[in-house]
Each structure stands twice: as C-alpha cells, then as structure tokens.
Amino acid sequence: MDTRALSSRTMEAREIPGLFFAGEALDITGWLGGYNLQWAWASGAAAGRAA
C-alpha cells in the first residue's frame, strides 16, 4: 500500500473511510535494528486508537 493513500495520523485509507493499514501491509522500508517492528507497533497503535 502506497503511504500517500493513507492519513499519516490515523493510517486510515483516504478513499475508503473505516479501512486502516499497519505494519508490513504498507510500503515502508525500515533500517535494520528494530525499526520494522517499531513501525508495526506504532502504526498499529495509531490505527487502533483512531478506529
């Protein structure tokens, strides 16, 4: 999923309200050292709070 299709605050799809994405479903590349897990948790928390 291209991140431009989402709200950067809530991870909600701009075109489909109520549809949220997190973690590896998104086109994000993290540096080695835990950043992929950090992204999965942070984006999941943001989406979960907004849903």
Ligand X SMILES: Cc1cc2nc3c(=O)[nH]c(=O)nc-3n(C[C@H](O)[C@H](O)[C@H](O)COP(=O)(O)OP(=O)(O)OC[C@H]3O[C@@H](n4cnc5c(N)ncnc54)[C@H](O)[C@@H]3O)c2cc1C
Whole-number Å distance between alpha carbons of 14 and 36:
23
Asked if residue 37 binds ligand X (CB under 6 A), the reply is yes
Near ligand X by CB under 6 A: residue from 14, 24, 45, 49: 24
Q: Are 47 and 22 a contacting pair, CB within 8 Å?
A: yes
Q: With CB under 6 A as the contact rule, which of the stretches 1-9, 11-19, 34-42 interacts with ligand X?
A: 34-42
Q: How far is the CB of 36 from ligand X (least distance, A)?
A: 3
The Cα–Cα gap between 39 and 17 comes to 22
35 binds ligand X (CB under 6 A): yes
